[in-house]
């Protein structure tokens, strides 16, 4: 592999060669469950790991393997494993380092699915946890216990877009011989490289930007080969979390356009965030690209772009927020993000509903908070839709003034 290739080139060419038999440029889809061997000795060697190869669909697939190699290269990890969903990736990464009696520190504002796993399933494995403010490094360091075996963060966080200092947190983790796991879903390796900043493991919901077209459920864990092989053989394989060949093919196809898609998401989001910040009916806007964001300067040093997610609070709380999203005509109400379509959702009643209201408010998830996944439509059309849903009129001069500032 050409180490000096830019990421735009790597997105297309990493781990990709034309099919040996047909010369086809597109990656072949191999929907096989099982694989034949020339003799019993070869079968035994593959199963034991002494010889490379696939032997059963739960433990590997040729199409998926190409994708895993590409994702590992993009993130700067030794290896990666593709799984059936983002939650499969998150749960597998945590279970790779945690067992009965262990403890994990988790950033306080975290994806609702992660919160649900930790509060409902982890205790059944005898795993304890604490949610801490990871923007305060002193608090984080003091929260480490003798039984703490992992630190788990997502940055920017979902949905309040808190940016955490990966390098500083990695330093604390390494000083205590604790692995740092980072959810990089919002950024993708195009905008942020946690392993380069000291993280040990990266997880993704590939359902989102990596695939980018709203037609795949998938997840990835990236890290050292020994950790990935443990997940493959002892967690994902045994629990049946494997990613199938067709969805792997779709992600391989989606990755080829990740660069141009992410650039468009970012440029449009910056414009829309500026519009919302100046709107009289908006209480607060959370977007790392705005100077008003508390970690704006950290974001500029740690991230190559500010992403396509904006969260904001509509004045008037829950009722005003619900009325706003119900009036949208272009943006669609949906749980997901990172699609070509602009998607909007209400975290308190949707993605973070599993978090009790008292905890939601503690983590900044108010009843009036809205999360917007900026799509690939013309940003002017998105702004017009947001504007009419807010029940106000803004003339063309106003929009031109915003664009001129960016």
Cα three-residue angle 312-316-320, rounded to 5 degrees? 80
Go through 33-46 and write b for each residue having 16 or more CB atoms within 10 A of its CB, e for each that does not: eebeeeeeeebeeb
Peptide bond into 156 cis (omega under 30): yes
- Distance, in Å, from the CA atom of 134 to the CA atom of 229, rounded to the nearest integer, reads 30
Structure tokens at 238: 């045994």
The strand pairing partners of 152, in sequence order, are 106, 181
Structure letter (DSSP) for residue 387: H
What are the residues whose beta carbons fall under 8 Å from the beta carbon of 258, sequence distance 6 or more? 11, 188, 190, 209, 210, 212
Half-sphere exposure of 118 (CA within 13 A, CB side): 24
Alpha helices in 159-236 (DSSP H): 166-175, 188-191, 225-230
Cα three-residue angle 66-69-75, rounded to 5 degrees? 140
Active centre residues (catalytic): 58, 111, 183, 208
Are the CB atoms for 54 and 226 separated by under 8 Å?
A: no
């Amino acid at each position: 592999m050409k180490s000096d290739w830019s990421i735009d080139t790597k997105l297309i060419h990493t781990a990709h060669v034309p099919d040996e038999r047909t010369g086809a440029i597109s990656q072949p889809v191999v929907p096989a469950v099982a694989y034949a061997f020339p003799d019993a000795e070869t079968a035994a060697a593959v199963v034991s790991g002494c010889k490379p190869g696939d032997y059963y669909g739960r433990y590997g697939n040729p199409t998926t393997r190409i994708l895993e190699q590409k994702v590992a290269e993009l993130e700067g990890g030794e290896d990666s494993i593709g799984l059936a969903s983002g939650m499969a990736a998150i749960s597998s990464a945590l279970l790779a380092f945690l067992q009965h009696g262990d403890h994990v520190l988790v950033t306080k504002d975290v994806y609702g699915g992660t919160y649900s796993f930790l509060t409902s399933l982890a205790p059944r494995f005898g795993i304890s946890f604490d949610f801490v403010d990871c923007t305060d490094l002193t608090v984080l360091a003091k929260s480490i216990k003798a039984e703490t075996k992992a630190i788990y963060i997502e940055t920017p966080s979902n949905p309040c877009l808190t940016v955490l200092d990966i390098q500083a947190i990695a330093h604390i983790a390494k000083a205590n011989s604790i692995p740092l796991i980072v959810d990089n879903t919002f950024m993708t390796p195009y905008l942020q490289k946690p392993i380069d900043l000291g993280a040990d493991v990266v997880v993704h919901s590939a359902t989102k930007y990596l695939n980018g077209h709203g037609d795949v459920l998938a997840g990835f864990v990236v890290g050292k080969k020994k950790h990935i092989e443990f997940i493959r053989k002892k967690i994902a394989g045994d629990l049946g979390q494997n990613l199938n060949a067709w969805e792997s093919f779709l992600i391989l196809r989606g990755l080829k356009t990740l660069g141009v898609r992410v650039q468009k998401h970012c440029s449009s989001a910056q414009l829309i965030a500026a519009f919302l910040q100046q709107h009289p009916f908006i209480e607060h806007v959370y977007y790392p690209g705005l100077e008003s964001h508390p970690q704006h300067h950290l974001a500029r040093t740690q991230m190559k772009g500010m992403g396509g997610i904006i969260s904001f609070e509509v004045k008037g709380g829950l009722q005003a927020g619900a009325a706003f999203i119900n009036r949208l005509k272009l943006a669609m109400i949906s749980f997901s993000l990172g699609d070509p379509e602009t998607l909007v959702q209400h975290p308190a009643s949707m993605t973070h509903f599993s978090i009790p209201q008292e905890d939601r408010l503690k983590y900044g998830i108010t009843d009036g908070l809205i999360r917007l996944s900026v799509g690939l439509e013309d940003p002017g059309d998105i702004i017009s839709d947001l504007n009419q849903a807010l029940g106000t009129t803004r003339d063309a001069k106003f929009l031109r003034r915003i664009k001129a500032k960016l």
